[in-house]
Amino acid sequence: MAPEEHRIVVLISGSGTNLQALIDAQGTPSLPDAKIVLVLSNRKAAYGLTRAQNVDPPIPTQVLALQPYLKANPGKTRNDYDSEVSKIVLAASPDIIVLAGWMHVLSDTFLGEVERENIPVINIHPALPGAFDGVNAIQRAFDAFGRGEIENSGVMVHKVIREVDRGEPVLVRTVEIKKEDTLEDFEQRLHQTEWGVIVEATKIVLESRGKKPSA
Ligand SMILES: Nc1nc2c(c(=O)[nH]1)N[C@@H](CN(C=O)c1ccc(C(=O)N[C@@H](CCC(=O)O)C(=O)O)cc1)CN2
Ligand SMILES: NCC(=O)N[C@@H]1O[C@H](COP(=O)([O-])[O-])[C@@H](O)[C@H]1O
């Protein structure tokens, strides 16, 4: 009997190219016995939602944006929002939660609720550990290279903790910056590296949890 599939929930905010890499890999030797069961976005215009809906059969999607939530729920806080996010995610019974361009800093409220269920949360970040934490890391790395401050950059997938981009690295890969690169040249090379790293890192974390028993 085939082993039960690992359930993946992916959180996005934008174009979803890392999500697409996971979609393409699910159920293949790159990411065996795994399926994406929910894509949650904090932005309704995120093209990643379309990517999920274009799969056959479509991957279930949900949207929960912070500001509309706060406007619709006077008195509620960012922590309440995070708790709603965890409710939506946990309702999908994930074995892993992957932040793939999810541009919202998650609070202890969210992290505590998923930690209680012993569900790993990982994030793809377009920089080397401790180099360019936070947003706009690609541009910041490119500018630092132009100032002669760094020789290359990279991508990492790390465990998600309260401190942004400071969780234990799961997989790190260096990305070359060439002196003749435009920002676009470097960005394309970096994104292509990300698409392999996010799949490999997801597989590493799922395998570290052990095979799911057959249904
Ligand atoms: N608790 C954690 N939450 C998140 C982490 C993390 O490591 N710990 N990683 C981020 C992803 N990320 C970088 O990899 C990142 C995303 C967003 C921000 C940020 O400052 N967001 C602002 C809003 C920005 C916007 O809406 O454009 C915010 O949340 O107020 C920093 C780092 C995902 N979450
Ligand atoms: N700090 C988080 C961060 O910068 N994440 C980055 O957002 C992009 C999302 O692209 P995608 O929506 O095409 O996957 C990716 O480059 C990812 O590393």
**CATH code of the domain in which 75 resides:** 3.40.50.170
Q: Is residue 179 part of a domain?
A: no
- Looking at the whole model, is its pTM more than 0.90? yes
The DSSP line for 76-132 is --HHHHHHHHHHHHHTT--SEEEESS--SPPPHHHHHHHHHTT--EEEEESS-TTTS
Q: Provide the residue range defining the domain that includes 57.
A: 6-119
Q: Is residue 147 part of a domain?
A: no
CA of 164 to the centre of ligand 2 (A): 14
User: What pLDDT does residue 210 have?
Assistant: 72
What is the overall mean pLDDT for the chain?
96
With 90 as the cut, is the pLDDT of residue 64 above it? yes
Summarised one tens digit per residue, pLDDT across range 190-206 is 999 999 999 999 999 99
Q: Is residue 24 part of a domain?
A: yes
Q: Is residue 60 part of a domain?
A: yes
Band of the pLDDT at 211, cuts 50, 70, 90? Answer: low
Respond yes or no on whether ipTM tops 0.90. Answer: yes
Which of 139, 191, 192, 193 maximizes ligand 2 atoms within 8 Å of its Cβ, making it the mutation to test the pocket?
Answer: 191
With 90 as the cut, is the pLDDT of residue 212 above it? no
Q: Is residue 141 part of a domain?
A: no
Beta-bridged to residue 124, according to DSSP, are 157
**Tokens coding 66:** 């912070």
154 CB near ligand 2 (under 6 Å): no
Summarised one tens digit per residue, pLDDT across range 105-137 is 999 999 999 999 999 999 999 999 999 999 999
Q: Is residue 42 part of a domain?
A: yes
Q: Is residue 198 part of a domain?
A: no
Helix (H) or strand (E) holding 71: helix 66-72
CA of 103 to the centre of ligand 1 (A): 5
Q: Is residue 159 part of a domain?
A: no
The DSSP line for 174-197 is EEE--TT--HHHHHHHHHHHHHHH
- The rounded distance, in Å, linking the Cα atoms of 145 and 153 is 9
Number of structural domains in the chain:
1
Which of 47, 106, 124, 194 maximizes ligand 2 atoms within 8 Å of its Cβ, making it the mutation to test the pocket?
Answer: 124
